[in-house]
Amino acid sequence: MKFMSEFEERGYKIQAFMPTLASEPLQWVVKVFKEGELIKEITIPMRIVPRFGPDTIDVQILEKETEKLLQSLP
C-alpha cells in the first residue's frame, strides 16, 4: 500500500493508502489516529485499477466515505 494523503480535523488525523501492486486488494485503507494512537481502520472498495494514480471517481468515493467516517466519530 502507498501513502496517498493525510489531513487533520477535530483532533483526528486521517490517512489514506492505496494499492500499488496488482496482488494487493483494490481498495483504499483509511486509518484514523487520535493523539498518535490508531483508533480505527476501514477499507473502501475502489472501482478502477490505478495506473498513474487514483481515478477521480475513486477519489470522490474516498472523500464521501471519509466524511461519513468523521461524522461517526465522537
Q: Tell me, what's the pLDDT at 41?
A: 98
Asked whether 19 and 27 are in contact (CB, 8 A), the reply is yes
Q: Tell me, what's the pLDDT at 51?
A: 87
Q: Tell me, what's the pLDDT at 17?
A: 98
Q: What is the mean pLDDT of residues 8-15?
A: 97
Domain ranges of the chain: 2-72
pLDDT tens-digit profile of 18-60?
999 989 999 999 999 999 999 999 999 999 999 889 999 999 9
Q: What is the C-alpha separation between 29 and 14, in angstroms, rounded?
A: 10
Number of residues that this document lists for the chain: 74
Q: What is the mean pLDDT of residues 7-23?
A: 96
pTM: predicted TM-score of the whole model, two decimal places: 0.92
